[in-house]
Amino acid sequence: MDTIAAIAAGGPSAIGVVRVSGPDCFRVCEAVFRASRPFGALEPRRMVLGEMLDSQGRAVDRGLAVRFPGPGSYTGEDSAEFHCHGSPVVLREVLASLFAAGAASGAPVRQAGPGEFTKRAFLNGRLDLTQAEAVVDLIDAETAAAARNAAAQLDGGLRRVLEPIQEALLDITSRFYAVVDYPDEDIQDAGPEEIAAALEKAGGGLTALLATCKRGKVLKQGVRTAIVGLPNAGKSSLLNALAGYDRAIVTDIPGTTRDTVEESVLCGGVLLRLIDTAGLRETEDVVEQKGVERSRRAMEEAELILLVMDGTAEVRPENRAYLEAQALLLNQVAETGKPWLCVESKRDLTGPHAFSLGLVQKDANNPAACLCVSSVTGEGLDKLEEAVAALFPPGAPAEAGSLLTDQRQEEAASRAREAVRRALEALESGMTVDAVLTDAEEALDAIGELTGRTAREEIVERIFSRFCVGK
């Protein structure tokens, strides 16, 4: 492999980092960093103070350098980092100096591509593919729980869950082929009962792993949440209260919100991708009609629905049309089959009388919770957070790092489980062992794709394309 370099962190900031990796790493670093000892003689994995030099050999900054001899480095090859002031000018000068030093010494240094350092770590066996994915998940984490899960996955949490599944399948397949290839050796073949036990163990492990998908995706992506209700129910006010600032325009005029407004907030430790929708009502206004259509679509696509009901609406004969529209909307929300919360708004004006509770119990399936809140005073928002946390629990601490967090992982695990299921069916139907183990091998290939052992090049490339330059 050639030698690569990139700005890994910086500008403008207090500290910037330039990273280098490859076979000629230490040779080119010698021309860029001036300290009391030659760069190649610096103690490994220990910061040393010195001067960073530009391409003309002039000091451009004073800072720290550290070298990581391979294979005990992040990439598995000789690597180094320069920690200097985070001026974009300084960082570019140091990077240009590395390129110039490489050209002058006949050991070219090129700009690293997105995720190329981590890709080298994967190719050199320092990380498997699930750990590599955890790196970018850790960088992109929007909640503490997501960061903890990514850190645990980077530590090999998911790999450790897969190892006993892989081992069970490898044991029966390897023993079969050992008997076939070396018939004169005293190798005990696996019998039908032993094969069935191994397949059931693998299938059970994969089923348990796939059961983590929902929690994993919630951690990584958040929960798509639609805020719905009749016009002027307090939807936009609730969004603003949860966001902590005026994200949506709020007026007393029904129909102010004509389009969906989106915002991400942390609620009860859960990342909610909030979608504030236009009020759901029949209207002749063409623009408002389009907003209503988008609102219905948002409700259909949501993973959680917050139905906001106007707490100031009174049950009186003259309000019959409004109450009928509210009852219809309640039923529509309940019929989606999605988890939903009934949120009665404007508690600061009404007090906790919750007129809507009776309406909900009478005309629709019960929501996960009924709450009274004030977007003005914040009263009741703590109860909303508790209700959301109860719907999307974080899982046991020991589970961190062992969750499937994206579509690629889920698809590979599903194919593995399906192959194991076919193998069990083949065994039960009396098919020969070699036919049964063909499906077991397919399950192993799917698991190998998950970890990267058998992943196709285009899959690997797609994963690392998500990374930033310098990582």
One pLDDT digit (tens) per residue for the chain, 471 residues: 899 999 998 878 899 999 999 999 999 999 999 999 999 899 999 999 999 999 898 999 999 999 999 999 999 999 999 999 999 999 999 999 999 999 988 889 999 999 999 999 999 999 999 999 999 899 888 888 889 999 999 999 999 999 999 999 988 887 776 655 455 555 566 677 888 888 999 999 999 999 999 888 888 889 999 998 888 888 888 888 888 866 554 444 444 444 557 888 888 888 999 888 765 555 545 444 555 677 778 788 889 999 998 877 765 555 677 777 777 788 888 888 889 998 988 887 776 555 454 555 544 467 888 888 888 888 889 999 999 999 988 777 778 888 998 899 999 999 999 999 999 998 888 888 778 888 989 999 999 999 888 777 777 887 778 778 888
C-alpha 204: how far from chain center: 25
Residues 6+ apart with CB under 8 A from 77: 1, 21, 22, 23, 25, 70, 71, 120, 124
Rounded distance, CA 198 to CA 185, Å?
Answer: 23
β-strand pairing of 270-276 with 223-228: parallel
* Residue 291: predicted pLDDT: 53
Determine how β-strand 261-267 pairs with β-strand 270-276: antiparallel
131-212+402-464 folds as Four Helix Bundle (Hemerythrin (Met), subunit A) (1.20.120)
Reported residue count of the chain is: 471
pLDDT given at position 410 = 94
| Cβ atoms 381, 389 nearer than 8 A | no
Cα distances (angstroms) measured from residue 299 to each of 224, 229, 260, 279: 10, 11, 11, 12
Per DSSP, the residues of 138-189 read HHH--SHHHHHHHHHHHTTHHHHHHHHHHHHHHHHHHHHHHHHH-TTS--PP
pLDDT of residue 101: 93
Res 258: pLDDT: 42
CB atoms within 10 A of CB 408: 18
Q: What is the pTM of this model?
A: 0.79
For residue 368, which of 158, 246, 225 has the smallest C-alpha distance?
A: 225
Q: Are 258 and 294 in contact (CB under 8 A)?
A: no
Q: Return the domain boundaries, the chain.
A: 3-112, 131-212+402-464, 219-391
- Tell me the fold of 219-391: Rossmann fold (3.40.50)
Q: What helix, strand, coil percent values describe the chain, rounded to 5?
A: 50, 20, 35
Count CB atoms within 10 A of the CB of residue 44. Answer: 10
**The CATH number of the domain covering residues in 3-112:** 3.30.1360.120
